[in-house]
A and B are shown apart, each in its own frame.
Chain A
Amino acid sequence: MGIYLPIAEISVNVFVLLAMGAAVGFLSGMFGVGGGFLITPLLIFYNIPPAIAVATGANQVIASSFSGALSHFKRGTLDFKLGGVLLAGGIVGSTAGIYVFALLRRLGQLDLFISLLYVALLGTVGGLMLVESVNALRATRSGAAPVLKKSGQHNWIHRLPFKMRFRASKLFVSVIPVLGLGAAIGFLSSIMGVGGGFIMVPALIYLLKVPTNVVIGTSLFQIIFTSAYTTLVHATTNQTVDVILAFLLMAGGVAGAQYGAKAGQRLRGEQLRALLALLVLAVAIRLAIDLFATPPNPYSLSAAGLS
Protein backbone atom coordinates (compact mmCIF):
# COMPACT_ATOMS: atom_id res chain seq x y z
CA MET A 1 0.00 0.00 0.00
CA GLY A 2 1.52 3.28 -1.06
CA ILE A 3 1.23 6.52 0.80
CA TYR A 4 2.24 9.99 -0.30
CA LEU A 5 4.43 11.78 2.22
CA PRO A 6 3.40 15.46 2.24
CA ILE A 7 6.77 16.91 3.25
CA ALA A 8 9.18 14.44 1.65
CA GLU A 9 6.96 14.69 -1.48
CA ILE A 10 7.37 11.08 -2.53
CA SER A 11 5.24 7.96 -2.47
CA VAL A 12 6.42 5.21 -0.15
CA ASN A 13 5.14 1.85 1.02
CA VAL A 14 3.33 1.97 4.39
CA PHE A 15 4.33 -1.58 5.33
CA VAL A 16 8.00 -1.02 4.62
CA LEU A 17 7.96 1.96 7.01
CA LEU A 18 5.98 0.12 9.70
CA ALA A 19 8.36 -2.84 9.42
CA MET A 20 11.36 -0.52 9.55
CA GLY A 21 9.95 1.11 12.69
CA ALA A 22 9.18 -2.26 14.25
CA ALA A 23 12.63 -3.70 13.47
CA VAL A 24 14.41 -0.67 14.90
CA GLY A 25 11.99 -0.65 17.86
CA PHE A 26 12.77 -4.32 18.49
CA LEU A 27 16.50 -3.61 18.52
CA SER A 28 16.11 -0.50 20.64
CA GLY A 29 14.01 -2.41 23.17
CA MET A 30 16.57 -5.20 23.19
CA PHE A 31 19.60 -3.00 23.65
CA GLY A 32 18.05 -0.06 25.49
CA VAL A 33 19.01 2.53 22.89
CA GLY A 34 16.77 5.08 21.16
CA GLY A 35 17.35 3.72 17.68
CA GLY A 36 17.80 7.08 16.00
CA PHE A 37 21.22 6.02 14.73
CA LEU A 38 19.52 3.17 12.82
CA ILE A 39 16.38 4.99 11.65
CA THR A 40 18.13 7.90 9.93
CA PRO A 41 20.50 5.77 7.76
CA LEU A 42 17.67 3.34 6.96
CA LEU A 43 15.51 6.22 5.75
CA ILE A 44 18.38 7.52 3.64
CA PHE A 45 18.85 4.04 2.10
CA TYR A 46 15.10 4.13 1.37
CA ASN A 47 15.62 7.31 -0.72
CA ILE A 48 14.14 9.74 1.79
CA PRO A 49 16.11 13.00 1.37
CA PRO A 50 18.75 13.16 4.17
CA ALA A 51 17.51 16.52 5.46
CA ILE A 52 14.04 15.06 6.03
CA ALA A 53 15.40 11.77 7.37
CA VAL A 54 17.38 13.64 10.04
CA ALA A 55 14.56 15.93 11.20
CA THR A 56 11.98 13.14 11.17
CA GLY A 57 14.41 10.80 12.93
CA ALA A 58 14.68 13.32 15.77
CA ASN A 59 10.89 13.42 15.98
CA GLN A 60 10.67 9.63 16.14
CA VAL A 61 13.30 9.47 18.90
CA ILE A 62 10.99 11.51 21.19
CA ALA A 63 8.39 8.74 21.21
CA SER A 64 10.76 5.94 22.16
CA SER A 65 12.69 7.94 24.76
CA PHE A 66 9.48 9.34 26.29
CA SER A 67 8.04 5.88 26.82
CA GLY A 68 11.40 4.67 28.21
CA ALA A 69 11.85 7.65 30.51
CA LEU A 70 8.34 7.10 31.96
CA SER A 71 9.32 3.63 33.18
CA HIS A 72 12.51 4.99 34.77
CA PHE A 73 10.58 7.85 36.37
CA LYS A 74 8.20 5.34 37.99
CA ARG A 75 11.16 3.33 39.31
CA GLY A 76 12.87 6.48 40.55
CA THR A 77 16.00 5.87 38.49
CA LEU A 78 16.09 9.36 37.01
CA ASP A 79 18.28 12.27 38.18
CA PHE A 80 16.32 15.40 37.25
CA LYS A 81 19.05 17.81 38.31
CA LEU A 82 21.77 16.07 36.28
CA GLY A 83 19.33 15.77 33.36
CA GLY A 84 18.52 19.48 33.64
CA VAL A 85 22.18 20.57 33.47
CA LEU A 86 22.80 18.21 30.53
CA LEU A 87 19.75 19.73 28.88
CA ALA A 88 20.98 23.31 29.30
CA GLY A 89 24.13 22.31 27.42
CA GLY A 90 22.01 20.37 24.94
CA ILE A 91 19.95 23.41 23.93
CA VAL A 92 23.12 25.38 23.12
CA GLY A 93 24.63 22.50 21.15
CA SER A 94 21.41 21.84 19.28
CA THR A 95 21.03 25.48 18.25
CA ALA A 96 24.60 25.52 16.93
CA GLY A 97 23.89 22.26 15.12
CA ILE A 98 20.82 23.66 13.35
CA TYR A 99 22.86 26.59 12.00
CA VAL A 100 25.61 24.28 10.76
CA PHE A 101 22.91 22.05 9.23
CA ALA A 102 21.35 24.94 7.29
CA LEU A 103 24.78 26.19 6.20
CA LEU A 104 25.91 22.77 4.95
CA ARG A 105 22.63 22.32 3.14
CA ARG A 106 23.21 25.58 1.31
CA LEU A 107 26.74 24.54 0.40
CA GLY A 108 25.55 21.14 -0.84
CA GLN A 109 27.75 19.27 1.62
CA LEU A 110 25.05 18.18 4.08
CA ASP A 111 24.76 14.58 2.87
CA LEU A 112 28.52 14.15 2.95
CA PHE A 113 28.83 15.61 6.44
CA ILE A 114 26.01 13.43 7.81
CA SER A 115 27.58 10.30 6.30
CA LEU A 116 31.08 11.18 7.56
CA LEU A 117 29.81 11.83 11.08
CA TYR A 118 27.91 8.56 11.08
CA VAL A 119 30.85 6.54 9.81
CA ALA A 120 33.26 8.14 12.31
CA LEU A 121 31.00 7.90 15.36
CA LEU A 122 29.40 4.54 14.70
CA GLY A 123 32.75 3.09 13.67
CA THR A 124 34.45 4.28 16.86
CA VAL A 125 31.65 3.38 19.27
CA GLY A 126 30.97 0.06 17.56
CA GLY A 127 34.66 -0.85 17.49
CA LEU A 128 35.22 0.00 21.15
CA MET A 129 32.12 -1.89 22.22
CA LEU A 130 33.09 -4.94 20.21
CA VAL A 131 36.57 -5.08 21.73
CA GLU A 132 35.19 -4.61 25.24
CA SER A 133 32.45 -7.22 24.90
CA VAL A 134 34.66 -9.81 23.20
CA ASN A 135 37.15 -9.43 26.06
CA ALA A 136 34.32 -9.85 28.56
CA LEU A 137 33.03 -12.92 26.72
CA ARG A 138 36.51 -14.44 26.68
CA ALA A 139 36.97 -13.69 30.37
CA THR A 140 33.73 -15.44 31.35
CA ARG A 141 34.54 -18.41 29.14
CA SER A 142 37.97 -18.87 30.74
CA GLY A 143 36.21 -18.81 34.11
CA ALA A 144 37.97 -15.71 35.45
CA ALA A 145 35.90 -13.27 37.43
CA PRO A 146 35.10 -10.12 35.40
CA VAL A 147 37.29 -7.19 36.33
CA LEU A 148 35.09 -4.47 37.73
CA LYS A 149 35.90 -0.87 37.01
CA LYS A 150 36.58 1.01 40.20
CA SER A 151 33.95 3.73 40.16
CA GLY A 152 35.42 5.52 43.15
CA GLN A 153 38.55 6.50 41.25
CA HIS A 154 38.83 10.11 40.21
CA ASN A 155 40.25 11.41 36.94
CA TRP A 156 41.15 14.87 35.63
CA ILE A 157 37.50 15.70 35.03
CA HIS A 158 36.88 15.67 38.76
CA ARG A 159 39.50 18.35 39.36
CA LEU A 160 37.69 21.02 37.30
CA PRO A 161 36.12 24.05 39.06
CA PHE A 162 32.41 25.03 39.48
CA LYS A 163 31.42 21.91 41.32
CA MET A 164 27.79 20.98 41.81
CA ARG A 165 26.14 18.27 43.90
CA PHE A 166 23.79 15.77 42.22
CA ARG A 167 22.05 13.90 45.02
CA ALA A 168 20.20 11.21 43.05
CA SER A 169 23.46 10.24 41.32
CA LYS A 170 25.57 10.58 44.52
CA LEU A 171 27.89 12.81 42.56
CA PHE A 172 29.87 15.97 43.28
CA VAL A 173 31.35 17.16 40.02
CA SER A 174 32.17 20.27 37.99
CA VAL A 175 29.36 21.49 35.72
CA ILE A 176 31.78 22.11 32.82
CA PRO A 177 32.01 18.49 31.55
CA VAL A 178 28.28 17.99 32.14
CA LEU A 179 27.38 21.06 30.08
CA GLY A 180 29.97 20.11 27.45
CA LEU A 181 28.63 16.60 27.12
CA GLY A 182 25.08 17.93 26.84
CA ALA A 183 26.16 20.39 24.13
CA ALA A 184 27.96 17.68 22.14
CA ILE A 185 24.90 15.42 22.24
CA GLY A 186 22.62 18.31 21.26
CA PHE A 187 24.85 19.12 18.28
CA LEU A 188 24.80 15.51 17.10
CA SER A 189 21.07 15.32 17.63
CA SER A 190 20.35 18.20 15.28
CA ILE A 191 22.83 17.15 12.60
CA MET A 192 22.37 13.38 12.70
CA GLY A 193 18.79 13.01 13.92
CA VAL A 194 19.91 10.74 16.76
CA GLY A 195 19.08 10.91 20.44
CA GLY A 196 22.73 10.33 21.27
CA GLY A 197 22.14 7.63 23.89
CA PHE A 198 24.88 5.48 22.41
CA ILE A 199 27.41 8.20 23.28
CA MET A 200 25.71 9.63 26.36
CA VAL A 201 25.46 6.34 28.27
CA PRO A 202 29.15 5.36 28.05
CA ALA A 203 30.22 8.97 28.66
CA LEU A 204 28.14 9.25 31.83
CA ILE A 205 29.41 5.91 33.13
CA TYR A 206 33.10 6.14 32.25
CA LEU A 207 33.78 9.89 32.28
CA LEU A 208 31.47 11.24 35.00
CA LYS A 209 31.22 7.98 37.00
CA VAL A 210 27.44 8.22 37.30
CA PRO A 211 25.95 5.06 38.87
CA THR A 212 24.75 2.75 36.09
CA ASN A 213 21.19 2.45 37.40
CA VAL A 214 20.41 6.17 36.96
CA VAL A 215 22.33 6.56 33.69
CA ILE A 216 19.75 5.24 31.25
CA GLY A 217 16.77 7.05 32.81
CA THR A 218 18.66 10.35 32.99
CA SER A 219 20.00 10.00 29.46
CA LEU A 220 16.49 9.26 28.13
CA PHE A 221 15.09 12.23 30.07
CA GLN A 222 17.53 14.65 28.49
CA ILE A 223 17.14 13.06 25.04
CA ILE A 224 13.36 13.72 25.09
CA PHE A 225 13.98 17.44 25.47
CA THR A 226 16.97 17.70 23.16
CA SER A 227 15.17 15.90 20.35
CA ALA A 228 11.93 17.80 21.01
CA TYR A 229 13.89 21.04 20.73
CA THR A 230 15.66 19.77 17.61
CA THR A 231 12.33 18.78 16.05
CA LEU A 232 10.85 22.19 16.80
CA VAL A 233 13.78 24.10 15.36
CA HIS A 234 13.99 21.89 12.24
CA ALA A 235 10.25 22.36 11.76
CA THR A 236 10.51 26.14 11.97
CA THR A 237 13.78 26.81 10.13
CA ASN A 238 13.97 24.04 7.55
CA GLN A 239 10.38 22.67 7.34
CA THR A 240 11.80 19.18 7.08
CA VAL A 241 9.74 17.28 9.68
CA ASP A 242 7.31 14.86 8.04
CA VAL A 243 4.69 13.90 10.66
CA ILE A 244 3.17 11.13 8.55
CA LEU A 245 6.56 9.49 8.13
CA ALA A 246 7.39 10.00 11.82
CA PHE A 247 4.07 8.58 12.96
CA LEU A 248 4.44 5.41 10.87
CA LEU A 249 7.91 4.84 12.31
CA MET A 250 6.75 5.51 15.88
CA ALA A 251 3.74 3.20 15.58
CA GLY A 252 5.95 0.35 14.42
CA GLY A 253 8.62 1.34 16.93
CA VAL A 254 6.61 1.28 20.16
CA ALA A 255 5.19 -2.14 19.29
CA GLY A 256 8.57 -3.58 18.31
CA ALA A 257 10.27 -2.21 21.42
CA GLN A 258 8.18 -4.35 23.77
CA TYR A 259 9.08 -7.61 22.03
CA GLY A 260 12.69 -6.50 21.81
CA ALA A 261 12.81 -5.86 25.54
CA LYS A 262 11.51 -9.39 26.17
CA ALA A 263 14.05 -10.93 23.80
CA GLY A 264 16.79 -8.89 25.43
CA GLN A 265 16.08 -10.42 28.84
CA ARG A 266 17.08 -13.86 27.55
CA LEU A 267 20.55 -12.75 26.48
CA ARG A 268 23.50 -11.98 28.75
CA GLY A 269 24.89 -8.46 29.02
CA GLU A 270 28.14 -9.02 27.13
CA GLN A 271 26.39 -11.04 24.42
CA LEU A 272 23.95 -8.17 23.99
CA ARG A 273 26.77 -5.64 23.79
CA ALA A 274 28.66 -7.74 21.23
CA LEU A 275 25.57 -8.02 19.04
CA LEU A 276 24.86 -4.30 19.32
CA ALA A 277 28.49 -3.57 18.43
CA LEU A 278 28.22 -5.73 15.30
CA LEU A 279 25.02 -3.95 14.32
CA VAL A 280 26.55 -0.51 14.82
CA LEU A 281 29.62 -1.53 12.79
CA ALA A 282 27.43 -2.93 10.00
CA VAL A 283 25.63 0.41 9.64
CA ALA A 284 28.97 2.25 9.65
CA ILE A 285 30.42 -0.03 6.95
CA ARG A 286 27.34 0.28 4.78
CA LEU A 287 27.59 4.09 4.95
CA ALA A 288 31.34 4.01 4.34
CA ILE A 289 30.84 1.97 1.17
CA ASP A 290 28.58 4.74 -0.16
CA LEU A 291 31.26 7.31 0.59
CA PHE A 292 34.10 5.48 -1.12
CA ALA A 293 32.42 3.54 -3.92
CA THR A 294 32.10 5.21 -7.31
CA PRO A 295 28.58 6.65 -7.47
CA PRO A 296 26.43 5.44 -10.38
CA ASN A 297 25.98 9.07 -11.37
CA PRO A 298 28.22 11.89 -10.13
CA TYR A 299 25.62 14.58 -10.78
CA SER A 300 22.82 15.54 -8.44
CA LEU A 301 20.11 18.20 -8.53
CA SER A 302 18.72 20.24 -5.72
CA ALA A 303 16.44 23.22 -5.48
CA ALA A 304 18.37 26.46 -5.32
CA GLY A 305 17.76 29.13 -2.75
CA LEU A 306 17.17 26.80 0.17
CA SER A 307 18.35 28.21 3.43
Chain B
Amino acid sequence: MAGLRAFAATISLSLFLALSPATAQTPPPAEGIQIGLSTDAISITAGFSGADLTIFGSLENPDPLVSRQGRYDVVVVLEGPPRPVVVRRKDRVLGVWINLQSETFENVPVSYSVATTRPLQDIADPTKYKQLSLGAQNLYMKPADETDSPTTIEEFTAALRERKTATGLYSENVGGVQFLSQSLFRATVRLAPNIPVGTHKARAFLFKSGMFVKESSAQLEIRKSGFEQSIFRVAHDYSFLYGVFAVSLAMLTGWLGRIVFRKD
Protein backbone atom coordinates (compact mmCIF):
# COMPACT_ATOMS: atom_id res chain seq x y z
CA MET B 1 0.00 0.00 0.00
CA ALA B 2 2.74 2.39 1.01
CA GLY B 3 4.49 1.67 -2.26
CA LEU B 4 1.40 2.45 -4.23
CA ARG B 5 0.83 5.71 -2.43
CA ALA B 6 4.41 6.79 -3.04
CA PHE B 7 3.95 5.93 -6.69
CA ALA B 8 0.86 8.08 -6.93
CA ALA B 9 2.69 10.92 -5.22
CA THR B 10 5.52 10.75 -7.76
CA ILE B 11 3.09 10.93 -10.61
CA SER B 12 1.35 13.98 -9.30
CA LEU B 13 4.70 15.62 -8.52
CA SER B 14 6.03 15.04 -12.02
CA LEU B 15 2.81 16.30 -13.54
CA PHE B 16 3.14 19.44 -11.50
CA LEU B 17 6.75 19.88 -12.60
CA ALA B 18 5.81 19.41 -16.22
CA LEU B 19 3.05 21.92 -16.00
CA SER B 20 4.77 24.57 -13.96
CA PRO B 21 6.90 26.24 -16.72
CA ALA B 22 3.88 26.55 -18.96
CA THR B 23 1.76 28.14 -16.31
CA ALA B 24 4.47 30.38 -14.84
CA GLN B 25 5.43 32.28 -18.08
CA THR B 26 8.44 34.12 -16.61
CA PRO B 27 9.36 37.19 -18.70
CA PRO B 28 12.88 36.72 -20.25
CA PRO B 29 13.54 33.13 -21.36
CA ALA B 30 16.73 31.77 -19.78
CA GLU B 31 19.84 31.28 -21.86
CA GLY B 32 20.78 27.74 -22.74
CA ILE B 33 23.45 25.96 -24.71
CA GLN B 34 23.35 23.05 -27.11
CA ILE B 35 26.08 21.16 -28.87
CA GLY B 36 25.96 18.69 -31.68
CA LEU B 37 28.50 16.29 -33.07
CA SER B 38 28.51 15.47 -36.76
CA THR B 39 29.18 11.86 -35.87
CA ASP B 40 28.72 9.79 -32.74
CA ALA B 41 31.75 7.62 -33.45
CA ILE B 42 35.29 8.23 -34.66
CA SER B 43 37.47 5.43 -36.03
CA ILE B 44 41.21 5.39 -35.56
CA THR B 45 42.82 4.00 -38.69
CA ALA B 46 46.33 2.68 -39.35
CA GLY B 47 47.57 6.13 -40.31
CA PHE B 48 46.09 8.00 -37.32
CA SER B 49 48.46 10.61 -35.95
CA GLY B 50 46.14 12.87 -34.02
CA ALA B 51 43.33 15.05 -35.34
CA ASP B 52 41.24 18.10 -34.61
CA LEU B 53 37.63 17.49 -33.71
CA THR B 54 35.19 20.26 -34.51
CA ILE B 55 32.09 20.57 -32.39
CA PHE B 56 29.30 22.96 -33.33
CA GLY B 57 26.92 24.46 -30.85
CA SER B 58 24.50 27.24 -30.30
CA LEU B 59 23.26 29.48 -27.52
CA GLU B 60 19.57 29.48 -26.87
CA ASN B 61 17.88 32.81 -26.30
CA PRO B 62 21.09 34.87 -26.16
CA ASP B 63 20.74 38.43 -24.94
CA PRO B 64 21.85 40.55 -27.97
CA LEU B 65 23.35 43.23 -25.72
CA VAL B 66 25.53 40.79 -23.73
CA SER B 67 26.46 39.07 -26.95
CA ARG B 68 27.60 42.31 -28.62
CA GLN B 69 29.75 43.17 -25.62
CA GLY B 70 31.35 39.73 -25.88
CA ARG B 71 30.40 38.76 -22.36
CA TYR B 72 29.30 35.25 -23.30
CA ASP B 73 32.05 32.69 -22.91
CA VAL B 74 31.99 29.04 -23.85
CA VAL B 75 34.25 26.28 -22.60
CA VAL B 76 34.12 22.96 -24.42
CA VAL B 77 35.67 19.84 -22.93
CA LEU B 78 36.22 16.43 -24.49
CA GLU B 79 36.76 14.03 -21.63
CA GLY B 80 38.01 10.48 -22.09
CA PRO B 81 36.73 7.46 -20.18
CA PRO B 82 37.80 7.33 -16.52
CA ARG B 83 40.39 4.71 -15.59
CA PRO B 84 42.52 3.93 -12.55
CA VAL B 85 46.11 5.13 -12.87
CA VAL B 86 49.30 4.45 -10.92
CA VAL B 87 51.81 7.29 -10.67
CA ARG B 88 55.32 6.16 -9.78
CA ARG B 89 58.33 8.17 -8.75
CA LYS B 90 61.89 7.12 -9.48
CA ASP B 91 64.49 7.68 -6.80
CA ARG B 92 68.17 6.97 -6.72
CA VAL B 93 69.20 3.79 -4.89
CA LEU B 94 72.90 2.92 -5.02
CA GLY B 95 73.22 5.05 -8.14
CA VAL B 96 70.40 3.29 -9.97
CA TRP B 97 67.06 4.98 -10.61
CA ILE B 98 64.30 2.79 -9.24
CA ASN B 99 60.54 3.24 -9.04
CA LEU B 100 60.07 3.61 -5.31
CA GLN B 101 56.98 5.52 -4.27
CA SER B 102 53.67 5.20 -6.00
CA GLU B 103 50.16 6.50 -5.65
CA THR B 104 47.07 5.01 -7.26
CA PHE B 105 44.24 7.25 -8.39
CA GLU B 106 40.75 6.06 -9.20
CA ASN B 107 38.71 7.27 -12.15
CA VAL B 108 41.19 9.58 -13.81
CA PRO B 109 39.95 10.69 -17.26
CA VAL B 110 42.38 9.18 -19.72
CA SER B 111 42.26 12.30 -21.86
CA TYR B 112 40.98 15.82 -21.27
CA SER B 113 40.99 18.38 -24.08
CA VAL B 114 39.66 21.85 -23.42
CA ALA B 115 38.77 24.57 -25.92
CA THR B 116 37.81 28.05 -24.71
CA THR B 117 36.84 31.43 -26.07
CA ARG B 118 39.42 33.18 -23.88
CA PRO B 119 42.06 32.09 -21.34
CA LEU B 120 40.26 30.32 -18.48
CA GLN B 121 41.44 32.83 -15.87
CA ASP B 122 39.77 35.65 -17.84
CA ILE B 123 36.40 33.90 -18.07
CA ALA B 124 35.48 33.31 -14.44
CA ASP B 125 37.20 33.07 -11.10
CA PRO B 126 39.04 29.96 -10.00
CA THR B 127 36.48 28.97 -7.37
CA LYS B 128 33.84 28.63 -10.11
CA TYR B 129 35.98 26.12 -11.95
CA LYS B 130 36.62 24.24 -8.72
CA GLN B 131 32.88 23.93 -8.10
CA LEU B 132 32.26 22.75 -11.65
CA SER B 133 35.43 20.62 -11.56
CA LEU B 134 36.25 22.17 -14.91
CA GLY B 135 39.74 22.32 -16.42
CA ALA B 136 42.61 19.89 -16.00
CA GLN B 137 43.85 21.82 -12.96
CA ASN B 138 40.52 21.45 -11.20
CA LEU B 139 39.74 17.84 -11.87
CA TYR B 140 39.47 15.98 -8.65
CA MET B 141 41.74 12.93 -8.68
CA LYS B 142 40.57 10.52 -6.03
CA PRO B 143 43.46 8.65 -4.42
CA ALA B 144 42.80 4.96 -3.82
CA ASP B 145 44.46 5.19 -0.42
CA GLU B 146 43.24 8.34 1.27
CA THR B 147 45.29 7.76 4.39
CA ASP B 148 48.46 8.92 2.59
CA SER B 149 49.78 12.29 3.64
CA PRO B 150 48.16 15.24 1.84
CA THR B 151 51.51 16.57 0.65
CA THR B 152 52.33 13.24 -1.02
CA ILE B 153 48.94 13.09 -2.67
CA GLU B 154 49.30 16.67 -3.84
CA GLU B 155 52.75 15.98 -5.27
CA PHE B 156 51.58 12.91 -7.19
CA THR B 157 48.43 14.65 -8.41
CA ALA B 158 50.56 17.45 -9.83
CA ALA B 159 52.89 14.90 -11.46
CA LEU B 160 49.91 13.07 -12.93
CA ARG B 161 48.60 16.27 -14.54
CA GLU B 162 52.05 17.21 -15.75
CA ARG B 163 52.63 13.78 -17.37
CA LYS B 164 49.20 13.80 -19.01
CA THR B 165 49.87 17.28 -20.40
CA ALA B 166 53.35 16.31 -21.60
CA THR B 167 51.98 13.34 -23.55
CA GLY B 168 49.33 15.54 -25.13
CA LEU B 169 46.43 13.72 -23.49
CA TYR B 170 45.48 16.78 -21.47
CA SER B 171 45.42 19.87 -23.64
CA GLU B 172 44.02 23.35 -23.66
CA ASN B 173 43.16 25.26 -26.80
CA VAL B 174 42.65 28.92 -25.88
CA GLY B 175 40.66 30.62 -28.62
CA GLY B 176 39.52 27.22 -29.83
CA VAL B 177 35.92 28.29 -29.44
CA GLN B 178 34.77 30.94 -31.91
CA PHE B 179 31.40 32.57 -32.29
CA LEU B 180 30.24 32.40 -35.89
CA SER B 181 27.15 34.47 -35.23
CA GLN B 182 25.35 35.76 -32.19
CA SER B 183 24.26 32.28 -31.24
CA LEU B 184 26.30 29.84 -33.31
CA PHE B 185 29.78 28.76 -32.17
CA ARG B 186 32.44 26.34 -33.29
CA ALA B 187 34.87 24.55 -30.94
CA THR B 188 38.05 22.79 -32.00
CA VAL B 189 39.47 20.23 -29.58
CA ARG B 190 42.68 18.35 -30.15
CA LEU B 191 42.68 14.53 -30.31
CA ALA B 192 46.14 13.25 -29.31
CA PRO B 193 47.78 10.52 -31.46
CA ASN B 194 47.61 8.22 -28.44
CA ILE B 195 43.96 8.99 -27.68
CA PRO B 196 42.42 6.06 -25.86
CA VAL B 197 39.46 4.22 -27.27
CA GLY B 198 36.14 4.20 -25.43
CA THR B 199 33.22 6.48 -24.74
CA HIS B 200 34.27 10.11 -24.59
CA LYS B 201 32.05 12.85 -23.29
CA ALA B 202 31.84 16.26 -24.91
CA ARG B 203 30.60 18.97 -22.56
CA ALA B 204 29.97 22.63 -23.20
CA PHE B 205 29.76 25.22 -20.41
CA LEU B 206 28.18 28.62 -20.94
CA PHE B 207 29.35 31.60 -18.89
CA LYS B 208 27.74 35.02 -18.87
CA SER B 209 29.87 37.84 -17.47
CA GLY B 210 31.84 35.36 -15.40
CA MET B 211 28.76 33.55 -14.08
CA PHE B 212 28.09 29.94 -14.95
CA VAL B 213 24.79 29.61 -16.78
CA LYS B 214 24.30 26.19 -18.25
CA GLU B 215 25.90 23.00 -19.42
CA SER B 216 25.17 20.60 -22.24
CA SER B 217 26.78 17.33 -23.17
CA ALA B 218 27.02 14.74 -25.90
CA GLN B 219 28.74 11.40 -26.22
CA LEU B 220 31.39 10.37 -28.67
CA GLU B 221 32.62 6.86 -29.24
CA ILE B 222 36.28 6.56 -30.25
CA ARG B 223 37.25 3.17 -31.58
CA LYS B 224 39.89 1.54 -33.69
CA SER B 225 38.91 1.07 -37.29
CA GLY B 226 38.00 -2.35 -38.69
CA PHE B 227 41.36 -4.08 -39.02
CA GLU B 228 43.11 -2.70 -35.93
CA GLN B 229 39.98 -3.22 -33.90
CA SER B 230 39.69 -6.85 -35.00
CA ILE B 231 43.29 -7.54 -34.05
CA PHE B 232 42.86 -5.90 -30.67
CA ARG B 233 39.59 -7.78 -30.09
CA VAL B 234 41.01 -11.15 -31.08
CA ALA B 235 44.13 -10.56 -28.95
CA HIS B 236 41.95 -10.01 -25.90
CA ASP B 237 38.98 -12.29 -26.49
CA TYR B 238 40.70 -15.24 -28.17
CA SER B 239 44.16 -14.73 -26.76
CA PHE B 240 45.26 -18.35 -27.11
CA LEU B 241 44.28 -18.57 -30.79
CA TYR B 242 45.92 -15.21 -31.33
CA GLY B 243 49.14 -16.59 -29.83
CA VAL B 244 48.95 -19.66 -32.08
CA PHE B 245 48.45 -17.35 -35.05
CA ALA B 246 51.45 -15.19 -34.05
CA VAL B 247 53.66 -18.28 -33.75
CA SER B 248 52.47 -19.73 -37.08
CA LEU B 249 52.99 -16.40 -38.80
CA ALA B 250 56.57 -16.28 -37.51
CA MET B 251 57.28 -19.83 -38.68
CA LEU B 252 55.73 -19.15 -42.08
CA THR B 253 57.82 -15.99 -42.47
CA GLY B 254 60.97 -17.86 -41.49
CA TRP B 255 60.22 -20.67 -43.95
CA LEU B 256 59.31 -18.29 -46.81
CA GLY B 257 62.39 -16.20 -46.07
CA ARG B 258 64.52 -19.31 -46.50
CA ILE B 259 62.89 -20.22 -49.82
CA VAL B 260 63.09 -16.71 -51.22
CA PHE B 261 66.63 -15.96 -50.13
CA ARG B 262 68.06 -19.51 -50.10
CA LYS B 263 71.82 -19.48 -50.24
CA ASP B 264 72.71 -23.13 -49.62
Contact = CB atoms under 8 A, between A and B. Distances in A.
Interface residues of B, number: 63
Contact of A302 (B85, B98, B144, B235): B85
Interface of B: 44-49, 83-91, 95-99, 102, 104-105, 144, 156, 159-160, 162-164, 166, 193-194, 196, 224, 227-229, 231-232, 235-236, 239-240, 242-247, 249-251, 253-258, 260-261, 263-264
Contacts, number: 189
Interface centre among A63, A244, A297, A305 (most CB of B within 10 A): A63
Contacts of B86: 108, 301-304
Given A112-B98, A300-B90, A241 B253 contact: no
A257 B250 contact: no
Contact of A2 (B47, B97, B250): B47
B98 A250 contact: no
Interface of A: 1-4, 6-7, 9-11, 59-60, 62-67, 70-71, 74-75, 108-109, 111-112, 116, 224, 228, 231-236, 239, 241, 243-244, 246-247, 250-251, 253-255, 257-258, 261-262, 291-295, 297-305
A241 B242 contact: yes
Given A2-B49, A291-B96, A305-B84, A299 B162 contact: yes
A235 to B, nearest CB: 3
28 contacts: A2-B49, A4-B48, A4-B224, A6-B228, A7-B231, A7-B235, A11-B47, A59-B247, A62-B247, A66-B250, A67-B254, A109-B98, A112-B99, A228-B251, A234-B243, A235-B243, A236-B239, A243-B246, A243-B249, A254-B253, A254-B254, A254-B260, A292-B97, A293-B97, A297-B166, A300-B88, A303-B83, A304-B86
B119 to A, nearest CB: 26
B142 to A, nearest CB: 12
Contacts of A305: 84
B263 A301 contact: no
Nearest to B241: A235
Contacts of A6: 224, 227-229, 231-232, 235
Given A2-B47, A239-B235, A247-B253, A291 B228 contact: no
A25 B88 CA distance: 36
Contacts of A291: 96-97
Contacts of A297: 162-163, 166
A301 to B, nearest CB: 5
A262 B263 contact: yes
Given A6-B228, A11-B49, A261-B263, A303 B84 contact: yes
A244 B231 contact: yes
Contacts of B254: 62-67, 70, 250, 254
A297 B91 CA distance: 11
Given A232-B240, A304-B84, A241 B246 contact: yes
Contacts of B90: 295, 298-300
Interface centre among B240, B246, B253, B261 (most CB of A within 10 A): B246
A302 B257 contact: no
A292 B97 CA distance: 6
A288 to B, nearest CB: 9
A246 B85 contact: no
Nearest to A1: B47
Contacts of B236: 239
B48 A304 contact: no
B257 A108 contact: no
A261 to B, nearest CB: 6
Contacts of A63: 250-251, 253-254, 257
